[in-house]
Structure 1
């Protein structure tokens, strides 16, 4: 009798938790630099983490919110100076 779970079942929740943390970090970083790239990545990672049922649901939701905030900040700066790039 085999008592251990297959490797994909053991790592799936851990992968989802990692995606939740990564989405939070990338969303936070995206507010400062590369929001055009990091914002959508944070949104996608948060969505996948939530879909997979992460134990870090709050962190995934924060990553989703920060990723969307990245895109809002980008849109605001694009409207302000009519370019896709911005600086402090």
Structure 2
């Protein structure tokens, strides 16, 4: 049993690192397209990655910030256009 515990911890850390990177990528992509969907997903992934103890907290915090920025950009363009979407 002692042999599986470190492997399980490494797998959990790798999963959390993957979530942090995915959060960053989705948050960055959400600034351009589908920010209504990608913003909350980026926020959720960043929160789970931080909760699980990622070794890349910087990426998780960037994903969290970008997810919030996605929603703020959407809100700003919604106020300007009076619609639920925006375009260039």
For the aligned pair, the TM-score class normalised by the smaller chain equals over 0.9
Instruction: Give the length in aligned residue pairs.
Output: 87
Q: Provide, for residues 8-50 of structure 1, a one-character-per-residue CA deviation record: whole Å limited to 9, x for no partner.
A: 4331100000000000000000000000000000000000000
Query: 2:81 maps to what in 1?
Result: 81
Name stretches of at least 5 consecutive residues in structure 2 with no aligned partner: none
| Pairwise CA distance, 1:3 | 4.7
Name stretches of at least 5 consecutive residues in structure 1 with no aligned partner: none
CA RMSD of aligned residues (A): 1.2
Q: Moved runs in structure 1, 4+ residues, more than 4 A?
A: none
Q: TM-score of the superposition, structure 2-length normalised?
A: 0.93
Q: TM-score of the superposition, structure 1-length normalised?
A: 0.93
